[in-house]
Amino acid sequence: MPSLKTVLKQIRRELKGKEKVRDRVQADMRKVTSVSKQAILFIHQKRLKEAKKLLGKAKEIISRLDGMAKEHPDIIHSGLYDIALQEYAEANIFLTLIEEGRFVTPKEINVPPIDYVLGLADVIGEYRRLALDALREGNMKKSEECLQVMDEIYTELMAMDEAYMLVPGLRRKCDIARKIIETTRGDVTHEIRRQSLEKHMKRLEKLEKRFENLEKGR
């Protein structure tokens, strides 16, 4: 029969092994989050091929982590992994919307429904940035289209009824999203009015010059 010292030595060895696994797994989770954030940045910079490449790397890491889930469920299923999956979902949803004009499904990107929904809510913030970029470029049509996508996501999330209450953190994200949409709508409306006024002023200037030329011709 093994002594207590032997038993504890074995436990210590197992705990040290588990600690190494935890460190490696957490590093992978942080990598998924980091790579997904970078992919979103590339999407904004219109570097879609590079964004896809990064998301391919993230997919590989997620696949590896999922493979370890049976052996180490307590390590894999942590808050850190949820954050990574949400960021990954957000990047994939955003990329597919930009590239194909459609919403990718949770099954397509192998992400749990809850993480997909929370990632979807964050896409609203990315569309605000797109809308502001469009305003700076003077592209009012694009900024209004961005606002429509933001409205659609928010409206559909709010229409989830019971599921809306069952997704932890969704209420807070939707509250933030509502403020983002209201602010963006204000920015777009202000710019529409400014451009309209500018056009009106230019029209008046032309009329004044025409009137002055007529007066000079008399």
- Of residues 21 and 32, which shows the higher confidence score? 32
Domains of the chain, by residue range, sit at 13-110, 112-218
Predicted pLDDT at 8 = 78
CB of 52 within 8 A of CB of 100? no
Among the listed residues 94, 112, 82, 80, the one whose alpha carbon sits nearest the alpha carbon of residue 42: 94
Q: Given this model, what pLDDT does residue 42 score?
A: 97
Question: pLDDT digits over 145-181, tens only?
Answer: 999 999 999 999 998 867 667 888 898 999 999 999 9
Q: Is 105 in a helix, a strand, or coil? A: coil
Q: Tell me which of 106 and 20 has the higher pLDDT.
A: 106
| Domains 13-110 and 112-218 agree in fold | yes
Rounded to whole angstroms, the Cα distance separating 90 from 141 reads: 24
Give me the CATH code for the 112-218 domain, please. Answer: 1.20.58.2140
Please name which of 111, 57, 53 lies closest in space to residue 87, comparing C-alpha atoms.
111
Q: How far lies 75's CA from each of 35, 64, 66, 113, in Å?
A: 21, 13, 11, 20
78 CB-near residues (< 8 Å, 6+ apart): 29
Are the CB atoms for 118 and 173 separated by under 8 Å? yes
If pLDDT is split at 50, 70 and 90, which confidence band does 21 have?
confident
Looking at domain 13-110, does it have CATH number 2.40.110.10? no
**Euclidean distance between CA atoms 42 and 50, whole angstroms:** 7
Greatest mean pLDDT range, 6-15, 72-81, 151-160: 151-160
Q: In this model, does residue 13 exceed pLDDT 70?
A: yes
Query: Who has greater pLDDT, 56 or 8?
Result: 56
pTM summary value: 0.82
Predicted confidence band of residue 49 (pLDDT cuts 50, 70, 90): very high
User: CA 18 to CA 6: how far, in whole Å?
Assistant: 18
Instruction: Using DSSP, state whether 45 is helix, strand or coil.
Output: coil
Q: Distance between CA atoms of 218 and 73, rounded to whole angstroms?
A: 91
Kindly report which listed range (5-19, 38-52, 139-153, 179-193) carries the lowest average pLDDT score: 5-19
**Looking at residue 190, what DSSP letter applies?**
H
Considering the chain, what is the average pLDDT of its residues?
86
Q: What is the pLDDT of residue 79?
A: 76
The confidence band for 212, taking pLDDT boundaries of 50, 70 and 90, is low
